[in-house]
């Protein structure tokens, strides 16, 4: 507090107060006489203000009372900018009865003294004193109050404020306050009068003024009445017309709740630009396509927020059911034909526990070594913990799975072609299909969807789509299969078959598993006009398929829906209702396609 001077004792301020005769009125005549010698010199003032154990109780009480006034007047420098003593308004330094003071003594006494009707004035209180015994509110225990009262009465006379209020109560204005009940209504005129009154009052009491001479003239100009310095108690004077200073209430501005993007250490795994030395530059230059993970920005929830699409949240039951289906698929891949109920449940639980364990490991590693290690190192640590430090085993697993798909796909293709014969009406040529594909590419360039697929991935996805469509076709015609002879006539030229099958998934995938494929559905709809009849058939197939499936929650996992539809009991302890060959085709189809035969691959247009 700059007003207290550099040493913080406030000698200058005390001198200023003395020059206006405030100490005398504040302390009373008796105390003033013992106080004034301390103001004679700075040294004396310092010794007065310094806390000293040798001082007697009355001395300390006097010091505290002096401090109270001093600090109260100096506290304005906490809030206001100019801090020069010379700029202090003399009126400000005066003692005013309507200033708000805190009371820390004579709490009960104050309450008694107050007029019971003056409820509002209970907010005003006498000057605070940091007396140890006086700590507490006005509602403190009477014992403490009694002690403080006794002490204060014995050592010091009444505070200035009490004296002031005694006098004020005797004045006419106080009694008139409660006699005048005409102005009980709240009227705009009285409210504006109140506001101007308050403003004048504040202007008179302003702490710092630039020009003191101007201030002296001001009171004359503003208010001609001699009682302009009368205490102003708006709570009692204008009970009904008190208004706040401003119509706009000061509200704390709500903090901008910005979502802070939080990136885990494993969120940004090293991206590879050299996925294939041939493809990537071509991809980016010609098609503007980049692998989807390259364009992934930091902190972007991968659909967890729901903003990126269809990442579904699973319930416990759904998860356990899905894990059982996954186990069925895995068992079949390994070579089992069937399994008992219990073993299936056990392995499903094992699967979930294992994933849990891996997740815990990852979390532990990421949390513990987030700062020391990079993402790649963390991954290596994780793989070592899991036992797969040699990635070859995992790569082989992937290859095995994809190989087991390829030979079965051809069988499927052949058998399904036999079924599709009656349904086909048109056979678009190879060139058409290739044209369609070429059309798709420029469209993909225009897509705003940030998820772009690699060209190679797209090809593989075509394969997957085709295979899934074949699966669905198989299910749709299960009963027909049993009756019909599976006479498959290998059609001449696999390319023709490919073209047909490729057109179909355009629609089917859109309907059933849009979330699985990142390609924009608009591209699919653009193809539809070319195959209107096929589409109708597809829709019929799909509707019946869905009627059987009755399980919309598992849409993304179209391949796994098959066993559910295939037999009502998942336990597979009974013989499958269809022939073993058909069952093989159902279960053998894996969704990955890495090593397809060349015939099944889309060929670039021959020029």
- If one asks whether residue 362 binds another protein (CB under 8 A), the answer comes out as yes
Strand partners, 88: 208
> What DSSP assignment string belongs to 538-575?
HHHHHHHHHHHH--GGGTT-HHHHHHHHH-S-TT--SP
- If one asks whether residue 540 binds another protein (CB under 8 A), the answer comes out as no
Nearer to another protein, 271 or 431 (CB): 271
Tell the burial category of 354 from Cβ atoms under 10 Å away from its Cβ (0-12, 13-18, 19+).
exposed
- If one asks whether residue 391 binds another protein (CB under 8 A), the answer comes out as yes
- Tell me the C-alpha distance between 526 and 80, whole Å: 71
Tell the burial category of 464 from Cβ atoms under 10 Å away from its Cβ (0-12, 13-18, 19+).
buried
Min dist. Cβ of residue 300 to another protein (A): 6
- If one asks whether residue 337 binds another protein (CB under 8 A), the answer comes out as yes
Min dist. Cβ of residue 334 to another protein (A): 4
The owner of tokens 């001699």 is 226
- If one asks whether residue 347 binds another protein (CB under 8 A), the answer comes out as yes
Min dist. Cβ of residue 308 to another protein (A): 9
Q: Which of residues 409-468 bind another protein (CB under 8 A)?
A: 456-457, 460, 464
* Distant-in-sequence, close-in-space partners of 309: CB < 8 Å, separation ≥ 6: 303, 515
Nearer to another protein, 193 or 343 (CB): 343
Nearer to another protein, 96 or 311 (CB): 311
525: helix, strand or coil: helix
The owner of tokens 């007396």 is 131
- If one asks whether residue 343 binds another protein (CB under 8 A), the answer comes out as yes
Min dist. Cβ of residue 376 to another protein (A): 5
Min dist. Cβ of residue 444 to another protein (A): 17
Give the DSSP H/E element, type plus range, for residue 444: helix 430-446
Nearer to another protein, 124 or 412 (CB): 412
Contact assessment for residue 504 and residue 472, using Cβ atoms and an 8 Å cutoff: no
Among residues 135, 282, 397, 421, the one that binds another protein under rule CB under 8 A:
397
- Tell me the C-alpha distance between 78 and 76, whole Å: 5
The DSSP call for residue 474 is H
- If one asks whether residue 546 binds another protein (CB under 8 A), the answer comes out as no
- If one asks whether residue 183 binds another protein (CB under 8 A), the answer comes out as no
Q: Which of residues 254-293 bind another protein (CB under 8 A)?
A: 264, 266-272, 275, 291-293
Among residues 243, 557, 570, 602, the one that binds another protein under rule CB under 8 A:
557
Among residues 15, 167, 354, 438, the one that binds another protein under rule CB under 8 A:
354
- If one asks whether residue 494 binds another protein (CB under 8 A), the answer comes out as no
Contact assessment for residue 425 and residue 533, using Cβ atoms and an 8 Å cutoff: yes
- If one asks whether residue 324 binds another protein (CB under 8 A), the answer comes out as no
- If one asks whether residue 140 binds another protein (CB under 8 A), the answer comes out as no
- If one asks whether residue 580 binds another protein (CB under 8 A), the answer comes out as no
Contact assessment for residue 230 and residue 201, using Cβ atoms and an 8 Å cutoff: no
């Amino acid at each position: 507090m700059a007003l207290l001077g550099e040493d913080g004792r406030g000698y200058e301020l005390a001198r200023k107060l003395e020059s206006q005769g405030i100490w005398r009125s504040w302390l009373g005549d008796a105390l003033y006489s013992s106080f004034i010698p301390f103001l004679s010199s700075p040294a004396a003032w310092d010794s007065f203000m310094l806390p000293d154990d040798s001082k007697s109780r009355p001395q300390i009480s006097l010091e505290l009372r002096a401090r109270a006034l001093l600090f109260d007047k100096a506290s304005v420098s906490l809030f206001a900018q100019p801090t020069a003593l010379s700029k202090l308004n003399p009126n400000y330094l005066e003692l005013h009865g309507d200033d708000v003071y805190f009371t820390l003594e004579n709490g009960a006494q104050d309450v008694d003294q107050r007029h019971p009707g003056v409820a509002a004035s209970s907010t005003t209180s006498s000057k605070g004193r940091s007396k140890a015994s006086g700590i507490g509110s006005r509602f403190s225990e009477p014992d403490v109050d009694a002690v403080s009262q006794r002490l204060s009465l014995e050592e010091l006379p009444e505070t200035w404020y009490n004296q002031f209020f005694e006098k004020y109560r005797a004045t006419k204005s106080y009694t008139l306050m409660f006699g005048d009940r005409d102005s009980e209504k709240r009227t705009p005129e009285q409210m504006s009068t109140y506001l101007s009154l308050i403003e004048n009052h504040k202007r008179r009491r302003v702490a710092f003024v630039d020009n003191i001479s101007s201030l002296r003239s001001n009171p004359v100009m503003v208010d001609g009445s001699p009682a302009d310095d009368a205490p102003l108690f708006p709570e009692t004077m204008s009970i009904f017309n008190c208004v706040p200073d401003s119509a706009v209430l000061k509200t704390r501005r709500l903090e901008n709740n910005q979502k802070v993007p939080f990136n885990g250490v494993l969120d940004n795994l090293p991206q590879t630009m050299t996925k294939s030395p041939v493809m990537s530059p071509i991809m980016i230059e010609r098609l503007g396509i980049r692998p989807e993970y390259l364009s992934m920005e930091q902190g972007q929830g991968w659909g967890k927020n729901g903003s990126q699409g269809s990442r579904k949240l699973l319930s416990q039951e759904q998860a356990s059911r899905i894990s059982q289906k996954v186990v069925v698929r895995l068992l079949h891949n390994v070579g089992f034909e069937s399994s008992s109920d219990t073993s299936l449940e056990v392995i499903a639980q094992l699967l979930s526990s294992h994933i849990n364990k891996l997740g815990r490991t990852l979390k532990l590693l990421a949390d513990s070594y987030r700062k020391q290690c990079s993402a790649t190192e963390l991954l290596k640590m994780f793989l070592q913990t899991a036992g797969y430090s040699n990635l070859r085993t995992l790569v082989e697993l992937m290859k095995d799975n994809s190989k087991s798909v390829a030979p079965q796909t051809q069988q499927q293709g052949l058998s399904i072609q036999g079924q599709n014969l009656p349904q086909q009406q048109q056979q678009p040529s190879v060139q058409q299909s290739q044209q369609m594909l070429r059309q798709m590419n420029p469209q993909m360039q225009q897509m705003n969807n940030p998820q772009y697929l690699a060209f190679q991935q797209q090809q593989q996805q075509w394969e997957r789509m085709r295979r899934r469509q074949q699966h669905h076709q198989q299910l749709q015609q299960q009963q027909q299969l049993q009756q019909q002879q599976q006479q498959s006539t290998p059609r001449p030229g696999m390319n023709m078959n490919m073209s047909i099958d490729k057109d179909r998934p355009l629609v089917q995938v859109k309907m059933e598993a849009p979330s699985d494929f990142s390609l924009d559905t608009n591209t699919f709809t653009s193809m539809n006009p070319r195959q209107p009849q096929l589409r109708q058939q597809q829709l019929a197939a799909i509707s019946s398929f869905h009627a059987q499936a009755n399980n919309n929650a598992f849409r993304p996992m179209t391949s796994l829906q098959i066993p559910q539809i295939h037999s009502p009991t998942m336990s597979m302890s009974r013989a499958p209702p269809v022939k073993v060959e058909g069952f093989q085709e159902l279960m053998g189809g894996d969704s990955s396609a890495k090593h397809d035969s060349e015939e099944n691959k889309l060929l670039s247009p021959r020029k």
